[in-house]
Structure 1
């Protein structure tokens, strides 16, 4: 806009506009304002979608961390509840914790775990195809922009704009892959948290029931892009 006012510059800020002559006022200002507002609105829309998807992935990852802490403290919590119910002030052995109290806390952990898995499955169902489209579009844009940047001098303004745009879209993919990778890692660490639980000496029937959740937690939660590839740092490096 400043170039237009002082230097009579008539080039549009983003793309050429050929419906009518924009070299004179007020047509240039109207089209300039239209393009600027349209680009800003589109950028806000994309940023909002990115924030939503990354926020959900971050939430799932943190829920797995909370599940790990709950699993590590489960025996201690059951011990404290049994101690309060029996109104015993002195310490007693872990094997004296009633089975019903242990089962109650285990059921809460299982319900919590299943709720997180269900949330991850719903995310996969809603956003999987969107993420696939994003990956394919990013690959196309990367190829086109890098070719376009090669047509200009490396230090030119046009080349700098292209490389800046490439940096932005690769950052977007990195954030998706990073948090998808975090979800997978934290879901795998759930089984380690159960092994760190002080279950030695508890009722044998309770220990047998732990086997099922241990086996389930060893299967990681993998967020994919259209079932084609998983969101991970390995995928980002491939892109």
Structure 2
């Protein structure tokens, strides 16, 4: 919503046709709206930080247990017959574990993507007809928005689709190590 409002910030006002600039009254209204959206974005950053702080231990535990459980389940699947009910049960279990991890990673990736595109939406607005003062304020906000919001697991690992792929690779690596140790 913030992105949409910033992109259409200049749509509601009318340009002074002779000079191509906004008048002082309109500029003050736009500046107030812009400051409101900047503050709203900062509240969103605070909210994401708080939510991440509260759920970080449980997400870390779930990521670790899901990775280890996927490894064990894959190992068990390699030992069972493909046509057995046990294999089907293990397959369903793998899908459930993957969905649990994927949802965290997918929505974390959405948050990161949306925050990275904040500057683009402001740039796509009609900012060229604003005053230099207003443009400086926009540049300051854009400098802040250049750092994307990233939710993290264990305060280290970013929640993104790349992380999901890494977890799958990690599970497969553990499976390979377990199966090679079994052969010895």
Scaled by the length of structure 1, what TM-score is found? 0.65
Query: Deviation per CA, 1:110-160, whole angstroms, max 9, x where unpaired?
Result: 111112111111111111121111110001111111222222111111111
Q: CA deviation at 1:102?
A: 2.5
CA contact (8 A) 1:132 1:226 kept: yes
CA separation in 2, counterparts of 1:115 and 1:136? 31
Quick one: which of 34, 38, 46 aligns to 1:106? Answer: 34
Structure ID, larger Rg:
1
Q: CA deviation at 1:216?
A: 0.9
Counterpart residue number, 2:130: 202
**Bigger relative contact order (CA 8 A; separation at least 6):** 2
Paired residues in the alignment total: 165
Quick one: which of 183, 191, 214 aligns to 2:142? Answer: 214
1:11-90 → structure 2 map (5 Å cutoff): 66-77=1-12, 79=13
Alignment partner of 1:158 is 2:86: yes
CA contact (8 A) 1:67 1:113 kept: yes
Query: Deviation per CA, 1:1-49, whole angstroms, max 9, x where unpaired?
Result: xxxxxxxxxxxxxxxxxxxxxxxxxxxxxxxxxxxxxxxxxxxxxxxxx
Alignment partner of 1:193 is 2:124: no
For the residue of structure 2 that corresponds to 1:76, the secondary structure is coil
CA separation in 2, counterparts of 1:130 and 1:91? 58
CA separation in 2, counterparts of 1:218 and 1:211? 10
Q: CA deviation at 1:91?
A: 6.1
CA separation in 1, counterparts of 2:77 and 2:29? 66
Q: CA RMSD in A?
A: 1.8
Counterpart residue number, 2:172: none
Q: CA deviation at 1:97?
A: 4.6
CA separation in 1, counterparts of 2:43 and 2:11? 23
Counterpart residue number, 2:182: none
CA separation in 1, counterparts of 2:131 and 2:98? 52
Counterpart residue number, 1:123: 51
Q: CA deviation at 1:94?
A: 3.4
Alignment partner of 1:228 is 2:163: no
CA contact (8 A) 1:128 1:226 kept: yes
